[in-house]
Chain A
Amino acid sequence: MLAKRIIPCLDVRDGVVVKGVQFKNHEVMGSIVDLARRYAQEGADELVFYDITASSDGRRVDKSWVAKVAEVINIPFAVAGGIKSVEDARTILAYGADKISINSPALANPELITELADKFGTQCVVVGIDTYYDADTQEYLVKQYTGDVSKTVTTSWHTLDWVQEVQKRGAGEITLNMMNQDGMRKGYDLEQLKKVRAVCSVPLIASGGAGEMQHFYEAFALADADGALAASVFHKGLIHIPELKQYLKERSIEIRD
C-alpha cells in the first residue's frame, strides 16, 4: 500500500535553514546539507526546501546547495522559491531535485503551471498554497509573497477555488500551508484540510501547525492527507522521526519502515 509521507520542511534563507512563527521572526536552525542528511538517515520520506525570500526579493533560489543536497541524500526532495520559468525549473531539476514547487509565481502567472507540467510531467510540479483563514469574513483566502511580511498580499482567490484551478492547470501535488497555524504547534487546521481534500484529487500535503505526534495522526486519519509537513518540531528535536513513524504504525497508518 502507498505509505503516508512524513516531510520535514527546511526554510532556507541566505544559505542556512531558518524557521519563523507565522512566517515572521526567523531564527537560524542549521546548515542545509547537515539537516538534509540527518533527516534522510532518520527515515524522513521526502524533504522540501523553501527559499522563503526568493519571490519577494525578485530573485531566484541560490541553486548551488541543491546539487550538494542531491549528492548526500537518497530520498526525494522538492525545491521551492522564485521558480518563474521553465528554465528556472530545468536548472533545479538538473541539479538533482525531484520536484519543483511553485507558489507566488503560479498566482502571478497561472499558465506557468501548465508549461511546467507539459515540459516535465505533472509528477514534478507541486503547487504550494499559502492559505489564510479570515475570522471576520469566515473565508479561506490565498496569500502571495509570504516570504516577506511587508510584501505579502491577499489575492482575490478563495482557497478552494485556487485548489481546483491549479489541478486543472496541471499541478501534480498540492502543499497546503495553513498560515494561521504556522509555527504554533497546535495542530493542523483539520476543518480546512478536509474541505480542501474534498476538492483535491492529486496528492495533498498538510503544512502548518504540527506540534505533537497526534497532529500527524489526525492529518492522515481524519483528513486523509497524503503527507504531513513540519519544520520546527523536527529542527528543535521536539519530535523524532523514528518515534513518530512507530507511533503512526501502531495506530494502523501505512508508514514506510
Chain B
Amino acid sequence: MQIGIIDTGSANLNSVKQAFARLGYAAEISSDPQILSKAERLILPGVGTAIACMQRIEHKGLIDFIVHNHTPMLGICLGMQILAKGSAEVELNSAADRIKTLGIVSGEVVKLQAEGLRLPHMGWNTVEHTDHPLFKGIKQQAYFYFDHSFALQCGSYTIGSTEYGMRFSAAVAQDNFMGVQFHPEKSGAAGEQLLRNFIEEFG
C-alpha cells in the first residue's frame, strides 16, 4: 500500500508519517503530482492558516491534482477545512472576511461560536459518528484530540460531529474525499483505528 502525504508546507507532516509508521505503513511526503499520483491513499494534512495552506498548494500546482483526484484522500485538521467552499480564517488585519478554498465539500468554515468557552478548542473531545466505515470499530463518543479555532459547519457530508459551543463537523465524507477536524495521528488508540480504517476499508 503506497501512501502519499501531500506537502502542504504544513509544519506537522512528520507526525502524520510517523503515525503510519507505527501502523506498519511507509508514507511518502511529496508535493510532486507525478509521485503523488502513484499513491493508493492520499493524506492532505494542514496546520497553520487556511490562506497559507491554499497559497502553498496553488504555488505547487496541486489544486487541480487534488480536486480532480479519485484516490481515497483524507484531510486532517486544516487539510479538512480547505475541502470546504470557503473559510472565514483570513489573515489578521485583512480587509477580506472570507477566502475561497477547494470547494469539494459544500459547507463553509466559520469561527467557532464558543460563547463563554475557551478558544482555541484544544484538547480531547467526544465524537458522535454515523457508523461510516472510517469509524469502523470506534465507539460512539470516543475521544479524539482537537486543536483549532475555526470549524466546518454541519451538512449532508458530515459523518461525525462534536459539540463545542456549537455543533460542528468533526468528520466529513464526499465521494473519495474524507476529512477529520481532529488529529488522528495524535488521538491514541481511537486515532490509530481511524487511520487503519482509512487504509483498509476503501479498497
Contact = CB atoms under 8 A, between A and B. Distances in A.
Interface of A: 1-5, 40, 45-46, 67, 70-72, 74-76, 89-90, 93-96, 98-99, 118-124, 172-173, 201-204, 226-227, 256-257
B47 A124 contact: yes
B125 A202 contact: no
A197 to B, nearest CB: 10
B14 A98 contact: no
B11 A120 contact: yes
A203 B122 contact: yes
Given A1-B125, A95-B14, A203 B47 contact: no
What range describes how many residues of B lie at the interface? 35 or more
Contacts of A94: 11, 13-14
Interface of B: 11-15, 18-19, 21-22, 47-49, 52, 78, 91-92, 117-126, 143, 145, 147-149, 163-164, 183, 185-189, 191-192
Nearest to B118: A203
Contacts of A124: 11, 47-48, 147
Contacts of B183: 76, 98
A5 B120 CA distance: 15
A45 B124 contact: yes
A123 B120 CA distance: 6
A27 B183 CA distance: 35
B12 A93 contact: yes
Contacts of A67: 14
Contacts of B52: 119
